[in-house]
Amino acid sequence: MAALASVQIATGAARAAIDPPVALAPMAGITDLPFRRVVAGFGAGLVVSEMVASREMAQAKPSDRARARAELGLHEAATAVQLAGHDPRWMAEAARMVADGGARIIDINMGCPAKKVVGGQSGAALMRDPDHALRMIEAVVAAVDLPVTLKTRLGWDDCCLNAPDLARRAVDAGVGMVTIHGRTRCQFYKGRADWSAIGAVVRAVPGVPVLANGDIRAAGDAAAALAASGAAGVMIGRGAQGRPWLLAQVAAALRDAPVPSAPTGAALVDLVAGHYEAILDFHGRDLGLRVARKHLDWYLTAASGAASLRRPLLTATDPRAVLRLLPEALSPAPPVTEAA
């Protein structure tokens, strides 16, 4: 496989480069600004915001819209804002708002499988109505002078594998990059992502970068996904939980460059403590404590940390107690030896 090259996104006259083409997937309740900053700090080529409901944003009070724009980190480097919705009018209005706020790339969500999203005829539900999906894409492209990308799945179910056709029509409408999760909506996250099926999308939009997404948890997975699909890059979601350095490691491995080691010891403690405090600052203490628990849990799992401290760490309500426990909690548990 050739060394991984940077990719260029073009929508009309708007251009953006993704270098390296290893991106962080948008994940609701996970890829908030603090987490995106940590991942980007290690060298990800692109990080994507949590999904933004377009109508709710467009109809919000001015003060709420200002807060939402601040929370999206629109001026952050290598950041895309993902919009979701069903009405072209509100998608266009939300796109204009985030563009005016400094967004650099807008991503359109047509792949979220969540029942609440699909029930509102957004996300992956749009794959069942490609004509309406195209009107949404056209509205966003016409509304902004920014690169516009699309994230979707292979199709609604095994009888509706229409991602290649949707991608072709989206590119004709101005979309500059397509990301495909290698499952149908009806699969949710069950089974294995079909990276080879993503190849049909790659062949449908020659010259336009396609990112492969789904089940990429290590450099070997990324290499296999690229080989099976012919994609220009990868997008990593759940594999980065507790391992925000993974994207940088994958990018280095795909470029035959020295792979940076995962932080350990004091460096890992400093990283987790900084992320923890950033979560509390960003969300406030009460919500921040709840949000931080899942990240702490993932860090502990990735570090094979002290199991005996998992419960005290995850149930602590005093941030000072959490910070005191981190050094011991993140130390790898000693190996279990059999009695002689």
Q: 264-282 pLDDT, tens per residue?
A: 999 999 999 999 999 999 9
User: What local confidence, expressed as pLDDT, does residue 70 receive?
Assistant: 74
pLDDT exceeds 90 at position 123: yes
CB 54 within 8 A of CB 48: no
- CATH homologous superfamily, domain 7-254: Aldolase class I (3.20.20.70)
**161 phi/psi in degrees, rounded to 5:** -95, 70
In one-letter notation, the amino acid at residue 295 is: H
Residue 312 CB contacts under 8 Å (≥ 6 apart), including other chains: 321, 325
What distance in Å separates the CA atoms of residue 208 and residue 223, rounded to the nearest whole number?
20
| Active centre residues (catalytic) | 112
| Domain residue spans of the chain | 7-254, 265-329
User: What local confidence, expressed as pLDDT, does residue 69 receive?
Assistant: 73
In whole angstroms, how far apart are CA 94 and each of 7, 59, 123, 150? 26, 9, 16, 16
What distance in Å separates the CA atoms of residue 286 and residue 160, rounded to the nearest whole number?
43
pTM of the shown model: 0.93
Q: What is the pLDDT of residues 24-71, one digit of tens each?
A: 999 999 999 999 999 999 999 999 999 999 999 888 888 777 777 777
- What mean pLDDT comes out for the span 163-177? 98
User: What local confidence, expressed as pLDDT, does residue 334 receive?
Assistant: 60
- What mean pLDDT comes out for the span 280-299? 95
Cβ neighbour number for residue 335 with a 10 Å cutoff? 6
Q: What is the pLDDT of residues 326-335, one digit of tens each?
A: 999 998 766 5
- What mean pLDDT comes out for the span 178-201? 96
Q: What is the pLDDT of residues 76-114, one digit of tens each?
A: 888 999 999 999 999 999 999 999 888 999 999 999 999
* Region at 194 (left for phi over 0; alpha for psi -120 to 50; beta for the rest): beta
Confidence of residue 340 (pLDDT cuts 50, 70, 90): very low
What percent of the chain is modeled with pLDDT above 90? 84
DSSP 214-241: SS--SHHHHHHHHHHH--SEEEESGGGT
**210 phi/psi in degrees, rounded to 5:** -125, 135
